[in-house]
Amino acid sequence: MSDWTYTVSVRSLCEFTAKQGDLDRRFTPSATALEGQAGQMVVYARRSPGYETELPLEGQWGQLRVRGRADGYEADVNRLEEIKTIRGPVERIPHNRQALHWAQLETYGALIAADRGLTELELALVYVDADTQNETVLRQTATAAALQAAFEARCEAFEHWARQEADHRRQRDTALTALPFPLGELRPGQRLLAEAVYRVAANGRCLLAQAPTGIGKTLGTLYPLLRAMPGAQLDKIGYMTCKGTGRITALEALHALREHTPGRHLRVLTLVAKEQACEHPTLACHGDACPLARGFYDKLPAARAEAVAAGWLDPAAQRRIALQHGLCPYYLGQELLRWADVVVGDVHHAFDTHGQLYGLAQSQGWKLALLVDEAHNLIDRTRDMYSTSLSLARVREVLAEAPAPLRAPLRRLAVELADLAREQASDYQPLPQVPDDLAEALQRVNAALAEHVQNHPLDVGPMLQFYFEVLGLQRLLDRLDAHSLCDLQRSSAAAPRVTEAPSNLSLLDGDPADETQDALLSVRNIVPGHFLKERFEGLHSVTLFSATLGPPDYPRQLLGLPDDTAWIDVPAPFPPEHLTVQVAHRLSTRYEHREASLDALVDLIATQFGRHPGNYLAFFSSFDYLDRAAARLALRHPELPQWSQSRAMADGARRAFLDRFVPEGRGIGFAVLGGAFAEGVDLPGTRLIGAFIATLGLPPVSPLQDLIRERLDTLFGADHGYADLVPGLQKVVQAAGRVLRSVDDRGWVWLLDQRFARSDVRALLPGWWQLR
């Protein structure tokens, strides 16, 4: 192929050609992206008025186009600067990382020298400390000829790979343009969904797609996005799942699509969690400790070439290739992310602060489109990503194991937590902000732990883990605003007083049993959109799909989606008469009415079972309520077979629960709404013919829930039900969705509470349901 061209960023070129030797992932305290931007601004403010910032530079070598933005150039002294914000001494930056920084600076030097006709140039690698804002500047002077020679050497080293990637991109786009639908014809609802996904991908917009079970959402979203890939010039597609079972379905669909792709010119990569992929979890990720990190970058090229030739890179394939070449499977997967076409993984890869997929897309300038499966879970998942907590018991646990230099700051933190808990008026106390003494104690612990991990880079023990915890808490406290709540929850008795005792004395005065008392400091995110808005804006297109997304303003506002986000509500493929939905108008399952209504509730279940024998699921709001209902049914109707979900069921027990649902079977499976059996469970045909739902899914009454409601009402209005009714009824509809799994299925859903007849509740239920 003689007419190929390939565009590469300066960073990608240098990462490909300059990395060598061992993998070095020893943790060193680093600056956040925001701190990195702040560090750059500090440096810019110190430079002369004529200082140029964010210089766009570009150069050509053969068919290779190299581009990027240099941090700063000071023409008065002919100095080009690369600015890196760090924490701690420059001496502790790993050698291979600093070599990469120099390679980037030298490449920018070659580009600006060629652009401005310079004969020589001073290069300055500027490290600015995020905490002290002090600069450490490493300088060298280079001739334009030397910089050009180094630039050409890097381009030459990359040329073969670039040619291969350009050829793959051309073949991939040609194949996808002609990609047939693997099942022949799209179903009617599936076609509507596919058309909507294609349009938003072509126009660079976001989409909320509410589509019922049974239309084939996985293929109905993947197929049109793959077809849109060439025209929209997408670099990558990410299929993100909120639960692990979604990845299995996605990979099955992608395998079918890849088999129908001419030449199979489609690379599919599954992102795996580190704890699942790591072969040596007790060893530090460094050549001095782990054999799979030793010489990682020297062995990477051969493994990388084998992997991209294979194309299908599920976890088993990644592990096989990695171990064959003596590499870490997890970090090989991270490297292959750069060269995959479709990436399948958990939503945290795209939406978490440290999400690798989103981070690389931004740094590399990728045109990335995402599909988010079971997206009704995304609000809670992202809330968790931007929430954290720290308990007094956890501080005590770490203090008991801490080396001497850490004990004083840890003890001080325990003092402040205990004192704050003891002094508050009630067991639960919201905090508009963390008191100054506690904030200072937390900062001292962070500083002490940062120094400790810098001095012990191969330590992967409890101090490193605790540092991650307190650093995460500190960063969320620094960004505390209306989008999150901060609170302190203590146990029923006051927290004990922690003294400034010497390290060889008891940490607590009084009875050692007092140490069982605890206090929990939490930052609880309520509106993840504050953190996600920028991400949605930085992605080419995002489609969020689920059977339960509405009302559209709920995900749009809480997730921070763009104002022009499209909405589609795909009609159900089932005739309404196939699902009989009935409301128990005389039943109340409110907490204060449960005991009195229990006999009537189980009698209704038995009556329905007697009229239409088969397998049913019965959903309740808690295990306590479930246990009472199951016991009452057994007492009043002992002939009726039943089995129950239990707390903390292992995988084997879950499978055994579902295995009871055999074709033409008869019995009642008791489960908790919102739990493992309320969504993602496929029991087609006569394996399940009905469901009883004895709850509206509303959260328990508590001071915290009252605060959440007040905050959401303040931000979005008091009549939306965002804190309780909307998420509760989404769980109800998800559970009811277990009954009809294909257009031939027929079944019954009983809504066991008179409140289901209210107009505000009915408005949030599927329009095709014909409530009786």
- Going by C-beta distance under 8 Å and a sequence separation of 6 or more, which residues neighbour residue 289? 283, 458
Three-state DSSP at 544 gives: strand
**pLDDT at 438 exceeding the cut of 60:** yes
CB distance 487 to 524 below 8 Å: yes
Predicted confidence at residue 497, as pLDDT, reads 47
Q: What is the arithmetic mean of pLDDT over 364-387?
A: 96
Q: What is the arithmetic mean of pLDDT over 472-487?
A: 95
Distances (CA, A) of 534 to 32, 51, 176, 364, 538: 15, 29, 30, 17, 6
Query: Within 13 A of 120's CA, how many CA atoms are on the CB side?
Result: 6
Predicted confidence at residue 501, as pLDDT, reads 39
Predicted confidence at residue 680, as pLDDT, reads 82
Query: Within 13 A of 122's CA, how many CA atoms are on the CB side?
Result: 13
Calpha distance 212→546 (Å, rounded): 7
Edge-to-edge strand ranges of the sheet holding 642-644: 579-583, 747-751, 690-693, 615-620, 667-672, 642-644
Predicted confidence at residue 494, as pLDDT, reads 44
Calpha distance 446→529 (Å, rounded): 28
Q: What percent of the chain has pLDDT over 90?
A: 78
Predicted confidence at residue 495, as pLDDT, reads 45
Predicted confidence at residue 27, as pLDDT, reads 59
Distance of CA 481 to the CA centre of its chain: 21
CB distance 696 to 728 below 8 Å: yes
Listing DSSP states for 244-257 in one string gives HHHHHHHHHHHHHH
> Which tokens sit at 706?
């009252």
Calpha distance 448→315 (Å, rounded): 38
Q: What is the arithmetic mean of pLDDT over 396-415?
A: 94
Distances (CA, A) of 309 to 89, 164, 302, 306: 42, 10, 11, 5
Residue linked to tokens 């289901």: 756
Calpha distance 257→255 (Å, rounded): 5
**pLDDT at 662 exceeding the cut of 90:** yes
Largest CA distance in the chain: 95
Q: What is the arithmetic mean of pLDDT over 448-476?
A: 86
**pLDDT at 761 exceeding the cut of 70:** yes
Angle of helix 217-232 versus helix 144-177 axis, rounded to 10 = 130
Residue type, 577: E
**pLDDT at 392 exceeding the cut of 90:** yes
Average pLDDT for the chain: 91
**pLDDT at 25 exceeding the cut of 80:** no
Q: With helix as H, strand as E and coil as C, how does 668-715 read?
A: EEEEECCCCCCCCCCCCHHHCCEEEECCCCCCCCCHHHHHHHHHHHHH
Of 746, 739, 751, the closest CA to residue 213 belongs to 739
**pLDDT at 32 exceeding the cut of 70:** no
Residue linked to tokens 């808005």: 533
Of 122, 128, 124, the closest CA to residue 90 belongs to 128
pLDDT tens readout for residues 491-500: 854 444 444 4
Three-state DSSP at 542 gives: strand
Of 585, 659, 573, the closest CA to residue 615 belongs to 659
Q: What is the arithmetic mean of pLDDT over 144-164?
A: 96
Predicted confidence at residue 583, as pLDDT, reads 97
CB distance 519 to 391 below 8 Å: yes
Distances (CA, A) of 271 to 299, 319, 684: 21, 12, 30
Q: What are phi and psi of 278, to 5 degrees?
A: -70, 130
Predicted confidence at residue 31, as pLDDT, reads 67
| Range with lowest mean pLDDT among 342-351, 512-521, 609-618 | 512-521
Grade residue 399 by pLDDT with cuts at 50, 70 and 90.
Answer: very high
Neighbours of 144 (CB within 10 A): 18
Calpha distance 266→259 (Å, rounded): 9
pLDDT tens readout for residues 272-287: 988 899 999 988 888 8
Distances (CA, A) of 153 to 19, 82, 150, 230, 718: 14, 21, 5, 32, 64
Q: What is the arithmetic mean of pLDDT over 580-586?
A: 96
Grade residue 30 by pLDDT with cuts at 50, 70 and 90.
Answer: low
- Going by C-beta distance under 8 Å and a sequence separation of 6 or more, which residues neighbour residue 463? 398, 401, 402, 403, 406, 449, 452, 453, 456
Per-residue exposure over 192-204, b if at least 16 CB sit within 10 Å of its own CB, e if not: bbbebbbbbbeee
pLDDT tens readout for residues 33-84: 677 788 889 899 999 999 999 999 999 999 999 999 999 999 999 999 999 9
Q: What is the arithmetic mean of pLDDT over 604-629?
A: 97
What kind and span of H or E run contains 410? Answer: helix 404-423
CA dihedral 384, 385, 391, 393 (to 10 degrees): 100
**pLDDT at 458 exceeding the cut of 90:** no
**pLDDT at 468 exceeding the cut of 80:** yes
Q: Is the pTM of this model over 0.75?
A: yes
Predicted confidence at residue 338, as pLDDT, reads 95
Of 450, 370, 372, the closest CA to residue 405 belongs to 450
Predicted confidence at residue 108, as pLDDT, reads 97
- Going by C-beta distance under 8 Å and a sequence separation of 6 or more, which residues neighbour residue 686? 614, 615, 663, 664, 665
Calpha distance 356→368 (Å, rounded): 13
Grade residue 516 by pLDDT with cuts at 50, 70 and 90.
Answer: low
Q: What percent of the chain has pLDDT over 70?
A: 95
- Going by C-beta distance under 8 Å and a sequence separation of 6 or more, which residues neighbour residue 22? 96, 286, 287, 288, 293, 294, 295, 296, 297
Q: With helix as H, strand as E and coil as C, how does 439-472 read?
A: HHHHHHHHHHHHHHHHHCCCCCCHHHHHHHHHHH
Distances (CA, A) of 566 to 200, 209, 251, 750, 758: 8, 8, 27, 33, 29
Residue linked to tokens 């005792």: 501
> Which tokens sit at 110?
């070659």
Of 669 and 767, the structure prediction assigns the larger pLDDT to 669
Calpha distance 132→38 (Å, rounded): 12
Edge-to-edge strand ranges of the sheet holding 428-430: 388-391, 519-525, 484-490, 428-430
- Going by C-beta distance under 8 Å and a sequence separation of 6 or more, which residues neighbour residue 751? 581, 582, 583, 584, 693, 732, 771
Calpha distance 71→51 (Å, rounded): 10
Grade residue 505 by pLDDT with cuts at 50, 70 and 90.
Answer: very low
pLDDT tens readout for residues 318-357: 999 999 999 999 999 999 999 999 999 999 999 999 899 9
> Which tokens sit at 143?
């001739």
What kind and span of H or E run contains 762? Answer: helix 759-762
Grade residue 132 by pLDDT with cuts at 50, 70 and 90.
Answer: confident
**pLDDT at 503 exceeding the cut of 60:** no
> Which tokens sit at 196?
């909507």
**pLDDT at 511 exceeding the cut of 90:** no
